[in-house]
Amino acid sequence: MHSLHNLTIKSFHEGLVKKEFTALEIAQAYLKYIEVRDPEIGAFLSTAKDQAYQQAEQADLAIARGEEVGALAGVPMAIKDNILIKGLPATAASKMLENYTASYDAAVIVELKKAGAVFLGKTNMDEFAMGSSTENSAFKITKNPHDLERVPGGSSGGSAAAVADNMALAALGTDTGGSIRQPASLCGVVGLKPTYGAVSRHGAIAMASSLDQIGPITKTVEDAAILFKALAAKDRHDSTNVRVNYGDELLNPKLEDIKNMTIGLPSEYFIDGLSPEVRKAMDEVIASLKTLGIKFKEITLPHTKHAISCYYIIMPAEVSSNLARYDGIRYGTREHGKNAKNLIDLYKLNKSNGFGAEVQRRLILGTFVLSSGYYDAYYAKAQKVRRLMRQDFDNAFKEVDVILTPVSPTPAFKIGEKTSDPLSMYLSDIFTIPVNMAGVPAISIPAKVEGKLPIGFQLIGKHWREADILGIGQYYERINKI
């Protein structure tokens, strides 16, 4: 088992090509470890043993034939359960989709299959990706591998916990308001939210279409760069997807480019609500990056204070539109409404029993802000403020290349600590939400900290400049030997 703990995508690829092990042996070892360990952590909702072994054998056959294989060939991955893989369950951790099996592959899965990746299974999440702790799943609560009494973050908590506990070499998550970066931070792994449009959303179960983005969760920044490069492919099924030619600079950042950068520190993010541990970690990260020759500058993002208010108008509005389809007739199970006497009855029974409390809360809120007489007062106004937030980033990026902030105000909190207070739960995404509102890329990287609980720092880049944040992250890892 020791070998699993030290593997990265890069070292796995080197070992595979040198024939130190086979992809099948590694896939078997991971699945065996999941059997032993996952009952305690609860990261997976389902595993895909047969499909995984088949995929691993394909990678081994290619190597046996002397073919050149890519960096992701044979890499054992975990996939969040709102991303479709043909023939496997896709529940979005909801009773509404409990019996649904995907009939096609998401665009990102098509790319990963081309690259030869191995899918170990589907990971737990907050229902329909609504939550910050993975406590809203209809099936189980995922625990943080660093402290089983604490949450792994959410909504991609299962994916982050799987990578953090060596049950997968890498994973995919989705990020609507911080759902990749916040769990990555709380679990001590790397999580990248790409620029909106860089990665196709086709085949991801939609939550809020103007905010959702698929991205990698990995052990190292270099691994995140390798995986992101494979995911960023043009897809005709997603009209918001943009073809950007991401070159080798993602994987081979030059130190002279890094040294010429200026990092902005927004005064709105370094506030009184930060826990002492997070503040100390941020100070140490800044000191560490200064040794690379990077300059720092204080900046302001004045509309940050409105981020949560606007997000919790725009996101539920889009949720209410996207989830309207789960009526038990076209989509979703009809199981909960089988005793219905008429159509309205069927809708009510199905939705009341098929959706959990948090999903219902957001559906009601979203329907309200879109309703006649309230649309202009709430939704239209929130969209105007969103434009101002994007302008804040545009203005800041005239002065700096990258922005550094905390990811979460505190390390991982206790399971059950915030479930009775939705607002305090929503506030755990205060530093991640503005990034989704503006559509810019951001990454959560584990800070080098003493103590049991991990803390991540966030690097935010300009649109389509993932190379900047991945480059700084790779050099941070090198100088801290993470």
What was the pLDDT predicted at 361?
Answer: 96
Condensed to tens digits (0 to 9), the pLDDT of residues 106-152 reads 999 999 999 999 999 999 999 999 999 999 999 999 999 999 999 99
pLDDT category at 1 given cuts 50, 70, 90 is very low
pLDDT category at 450 given cuts 50, 70, 90 is confident
Condensed to tens digits (0 to 9), the pLDDT of residues 180-191 reads 999 999 999 999
Q: Which of 66-75, 233-242, 415-424 has the weakest average pLDDT? A: 415-424
SS (H, E, C) the chain: CHHHHHCCHHHHHHHHHCCCCCHHHHHHHHHHHHHHHHHHHCCEEEECHHHHHHHHHHHHHHHHCCCCCCCCCCCEEEEECCECCCCCECCCCCHHHCCCECCCCCHHHHHHHHHCCEEEEEECCCHHHCCCCCCCCCCCCCCECCECCECCCCCCHHHHHHHHCCCCCEEEEECCCCCCHHHHHHHCCEEEECCCCCCCCCCECCCCCCCCCEEEEECCHHHHHHHHHHHCCCCCCCCCCCCCCCCHHHCCCCHHHHHCCEEEEECCCCCCCCCHHHHHHHHHHHHHHHCCCCEEEEECCHHHHHHHHHHHHHHHHHHHHHHHHCCCCCCCCCHHHCCCCCHHHHHHHHHHHHCCHHHHHHHHHHHHHCCCCCHHHHHHHHHHHHHHHHHHHHHHCCCCCEEEEECCCCCCCECCCCCCCHHHHHHHHCCCHHHHHHCCCEEEEECCCCCCCCCEEEEEECCCCHHHHHHHHHHHHHHHCC
Q: Indicate if the pLDDT at residue 422 is higher than 80.
A: yes
> How large a percentage of the chain has pLDDT more than 90?
88
Burial class (CB in 10 A: 0-12, 13-18, 19+), 174: buried
What was the pLDDT predicted at 367?
Answer: 96
Q: Indicate if the pLDDT at residue 401 is higher than 70.
A: yes
In this prediction, residues 30-43 reach a mean pLDDT of 98
* Domain-wise residue ranges, the chain: 2-258
In this prediction, residues 351-372 reach a mean pLDDT of 95
Which listed residue (80, 95, 229, 351) is catalytic?
Answer: 80
Q: Which residue has the tokens 């290349």?
A: 401
In this prediction, residues 15-23 reach a mean pLDDT of 96
Condensed to tens digits (0 to 9), the pLDDT of residues 55-111 reads 999 999 999 999 999 999 999 999 999 999 999 999 999 999 999 999 999 999 999
Provide the CATH number for the domain formed by 2-258 in this structure. Answer: 3.90.1300.10
Catalytic residue check, 481: no
In this prediction, residues 162-171 reach a mean pLDDT of 98
Kindly report the CA angle at 214 between 209 and 217, in degrees rounded to 5?
Answer: 150
Which of 28-34's residues contact partners 24+ apart within 8 Å by CB, and which partners?
28/53, 29/1, 29/3, 29/4, 30/4, 30/76, 30/120, 30/167, 30/168, 30/169, 31/120, 33/1, 33/4, 33/166, 33/167, 34/120, 34/121, 34/167
Residue 96 to residue 137: CA distance in whole angstroms = 12
In this prediction, residues 234-255 reach a mean pLDDT of 93
pLDDT category at 482 given cuts 50, 70, 90 is low
Q: What is the mean pLDDT of the chain?
A: 95
What was the pLDDT predicted at 335?
Answer: 80
What was the pLDDT predicted at 2?
Answer: 45
In this prediction, residues 303-326 reach a mean pLDDT of 96
What was the pLDDT predicted at 333?
Answer: 82
What was the pLDDT predicted at 326?
Answer: 93
Catalytic residue check, 80: yes
b/e string for 445-474 if b means 16 or more Cβ within 10 A? bbbbbeeebbbbbbbbbbbbbbbbbbbbbb
In this prediction, residues 41-61 reach a mean pLDDT of 98
Q: Indicate if the pLDDT at residue 331 is higher than 90.
A: no
What was the pLDDT predicted at 427?
Answer: 86
Which listed residue (94, 155, 185, 444) is catalytic?
Answer: 155
Measured CA to CA in angstroms, residue 421 lies from 274, 387, 417, 426, 428 at distances of 19, 29, 9, 9, 12
Which listed residue (94, 156, 179, 444) is catalytic?
Answer: 179
> How large a percentage of the chain has pLDDT more than 70?
99
For residue 175, give both structure tokens: 């990020």
Sign of CA dihedral 352, 354, 360, 363: negative
Catalytic residue check, 103: no
